[in-house]
Each structure stands twice: as C-alpha cells, then as structure tokens.
C-alpha cells in the first residue's frame, strides 16, 4: 500500500484513514505568517457518502486506498439490488439501491457504467454522463405551441420522469444528462 505526501494532495485523490476509504473533494493550501504550511481538505467517505474536514501540516503522509475503477455493464435488477459485470474478467458485482443512488433512474440493460470497487467490494457506480432513452409516455403537444421554455413531464423507458419541451412526443428518443436529470436534445434511434 502506497502513501501520499501533502505535496501530492489534489482533488480526486483516494486515501485511507483508519481503514476507511475517502476521496479528496477539495484541497486548499494555506501558509500562515509563521509556522508550517497547512493543507485544508474536504474528504468524502466512499462507504457512507458523508463529508469530513481535515487539516494536515506540510510533510505529513496519508495511506493510499485500494480503490479501483473500471467499466462494467449493467445486466439486470434483482429485487432491491442491481447486478453489474466487469467487461474484462466477466466477474459480477451486486450493488444496493442506496449504492447506485440517483443514477438508477437512467440505467438501461447492457449499458456501460463506471464501477468503483474497494477491497474487491463494490461501493459506487456512475452512469455515463449522457444517455439516449425512448419516451414511453407524455401528454400530446398542442399544435402550434412553439413558445420557448414551455415544458411538460415525460416518462422514459427506464421509468424516469423528466421535463422536456412541449414538442416532444411519445416514441421520440431523447439525450438526457444523468448528472442533472435534464433534457439535452431530441435525437434519432441509437440502434437505427
């Protein structure tokens, strides 16, 4: 297990404190008038999702966390769990609804995602930033209603509900931002 010195601290760094993996979300360097430099860090607990603030003096070291990320394919939902398969060695991982979080709304079978694993146990998953999904239900748009910024709720094939422009119809394909849940654009059928 490697270590990181304070001069290697940066956003996104994965470290281990008391056997728990953390990701550095923010890091600020501060040099007081006298004394040693300080590194003020905001850390996210990768197991619980909670945030902590820690301050380190220049020269201190932290242990690196055994966290790996790789591409995994979403296979199916098994009750409350989601099953993913590593694209390289075909090993399967099950994540709970809590671990998958909000991106569960946009998961479609056979979709490639980024899986985060700590000590060979899955801890989090990230869907692609943009996905193309089919509209399964929406109210019909009124003819001639072309006013800007008029939106209506639409239901996508994964069951997610988002707001889309009034001209969107059932069976249209939409590109959606999975991070915000917002409509980006109407597009063509990805399989065509």
Q: What is the DSSP string of 66-85?
A: -EEEEEEEEEEEETTEEEEE
- CATH 2.30.30.830, domain 67-126, yes or no: no
Sequential DSSP letters for 81-98 = EEEEEETTT--EEEEEHH
Average pLDDT on 61-70 reads 87
At 1-25, the pLDDT tens digits run 688 888 888 888 888 888 888 988 8
Q: Quick count: other Cβ atoms within 10 Å of Cβ 158? A: 17
Rounded distance, CA 110 to CA 100, Å? 16
- Domain spanning 3-64, CATH architecture: Roll (2.30)
With a pLDDT cut of 90, the percent of the chain lying above it is 11
**Same fold: 3-64 with 67-126:** no
Answer whether residue 72 shows pLDDT above 90.
Answer: yes
At 142-152, the pLDDT tens digits run 666 556 678 88
Rounded distance, CA 125 to CA 103, Å? 8
For the 130-187 domain, the top CATH level (class) is mainly beta
- Angstrom CA distances, 148 to 104, 144, 166, 176, 184, stand at 30, 12, 9, 19, 15
Answer whether residue 98 shows pLDDT above 90.
Answer: no
Q: What is the pLDDT of residue 113?
A: 92
Q: What is the pLDDT of residue 59?
A: 87
Mean pLDDT of the chain: 86
At 48-65, the pLDDT tens digits run 878 999 998 888 898 988
Average pLDDT on 136-144 reads 75
Q: What is the pTM of this model?
A: 0.72
Answer whether residue 156 shows pLDDT above 80.
Answer: yes
Task: Specify whether the CB–CB gap between 154 and 84 falls below 8 A.
Answer: no
Q: What is the pLDDT of residue 140?
A: 78
Q: Count CA within 13 A, CB hemisphere, residue 176.
A: 30
Spans of all domains in the chain: 3-64, 67-126, 130-187
Q: What is the pLDDT of residue 144?
A: 60
């Amino acid at each position: 297990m490697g270590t990181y010195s304070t001069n290697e601290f940066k956003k996104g760094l994965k470290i281990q404190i008391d056997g728990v993996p953390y990701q550095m979300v923010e890091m600020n360097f501060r040099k007081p008038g006298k004394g040693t430099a300080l590194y003020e860090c905001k850390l996210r607990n990768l197991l619980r999702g909670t945030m902590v603030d820690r301050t380190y003096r220049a020269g201190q070291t932290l242990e690196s966390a055994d966290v790996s990320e790789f591409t995994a394919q979403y296979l199916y939902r098994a009750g409350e769990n989601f099953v993913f398969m590593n694209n390289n060695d075909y090993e399967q991982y099950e994540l709970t609804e809590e671990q998958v979080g909000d991106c569960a709304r946009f998961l479609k079978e056979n979709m490639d995602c980024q899986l985060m694993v700590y000590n060979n146990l899955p801890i989090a998953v990230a869907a692609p930033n943009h996905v193309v999904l089919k509209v399964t239900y929406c109210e019909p748009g009124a003819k001639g209603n072309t006013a800007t910024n008029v939106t209506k709720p639409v239901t996508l094939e994964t069951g997610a509900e988002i707001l889309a422009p009034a001209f969107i119809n059932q069976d249209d394909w939409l590109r959606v931002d999975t991070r915000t849940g917002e409509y980006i654009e109407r597009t063509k059928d990805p399989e065509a």
